[in-house]
Amino acid sequence: MDVVALSQAPIREVMTETGETVFLSVWGNRGPCIVSKVDGPRRSPMALRIGYVLPLLDSATGRTFLAFMPDPVIAPFVKEESRNRGVASRQRSPADLASTVRFDRKAWPATTA
C-alpha cells in the first residue's frame, strides 16, 4: 500500500479548507518523520522538508505519536530526546508529559535523570 499516494487527495483537501501547509508524518526508525507535504498559499516562517524527523516532546506531530504509540516503542525515543535536551527536560516529570498530551499513560518511561 502506498500511503503517500493515498494521502494526497485528503491532505490537499485539508490544505484547501485551512489555507495552511499540510504534512503527512509516519513513524520511522528515528521517530515521527515527514513523508509528504502540500504547501498552502500562506508563507510560513518555518521550512520543514520531507525526511525531517520531528521531536516527540516539542512538536504537535510528536505529541500525537507520543499520545498513541505503545510505551515500549516510544520509551527509548523519549529517554534519548530528554537526555539531549538537557536540564529543562529533566524538570518535566512523566505526569507533566502525560498532561501535555492529555492522555493517561499508566506506565510512563522514566525520563528524569
Higher pLDDT, 90 or 16: 16
Summary mean pLDDT of the chain:
80
pLDDT of 16: 95
Q: Of 54, 75, 90, at which residue does a domain stop? A: 54
Which residue, among 11, 14, 13, has the nearest Cα to 25 in the 3D structure? 11
Q: Whole-angstrom Cα distance, residue 79 to residue 25?
A: 21
Domain count, the chain: 2
Pair 14, 44 in one domain: yes
Instruction: Tell whether pTM > 0.75.
Output: no
| pLDDT tens for each residue of 33-86 | 999 999 999 877 778 889 999 998 888 899 889 888 888 888 888 888 888 776
Pair 7, 47 in one domain: yes
- For 11, the domain range is 1-54
The residue count of the chain comes to 113
Helices (H), the chain: 3-18, 60-68, 71-85, 87-90, 94-101
Is residue 110 assigned to a domain?
Answer: no
Is residue 112 assigned to a domain?
Answer: no
pLDDT score of 113 more than 70: no
